[in-house]
Amino acid sequence: MPNDFSINKRIEVKIHRIISEAISLKIKDRRLKTIIITEVNLSRDLGYAKIYYTSLNQDNQNKNNIDILNKASGFLRKEISNKLSIKKVPELTFIFDTKEEEANHINKLIDSAIENDKK
């Protein structure tokens, strides 16, 4: 079973690279130029992929970005199938990555706790 894990991880890395390159170089929509793919999670059967992304814009327009990415998912799946030789190209699900915001919130809570302890 450890071999299955390493194959999944290698395919996740390749899909991450393919999608990132396609968004930055091949998709002409300017609204997607600020999108950064942060993580790809692939199901064990390679049938589904969760694509986590974030945006460089402070006014994220999260709903709009998900709609645009979902419309581009057919093109992105075609890019994956052209560059990878796998039997089944995974269905892509795009999820806005909130890890950075959560980490900033936790850091602020820790800082405020330290300040309160000093008083």
Q: Residue 23 gets which letter from DSSP? A: I
What's the CATH number where 43 sits? 3.30.300.20
Give the chain's mean pLDDT.
86
Structural domain for 87, as ranges: 2-118
Predicted model pTM = 0.79
Please give the Cα distance from 52 to 95 (Å, whole number): 5
Number of domains in the chain: 1
Pair 56, 68: CB distance under 8 Å? no
Q: Which residue has the higher pLDDT, 83 or 2?
A: 83
Q: Scan for tokens 């602020």, then name that residue.
A: 108
11-64 pLDDT per residue, tens: 999 999 999 999 999 988 888 888 899 999 999 888 999 999 988 876 656 778
Q: What average pLDDT does the segment 69-84 reach?
A: 93
| The pLDDT value given to residue 5 | 60
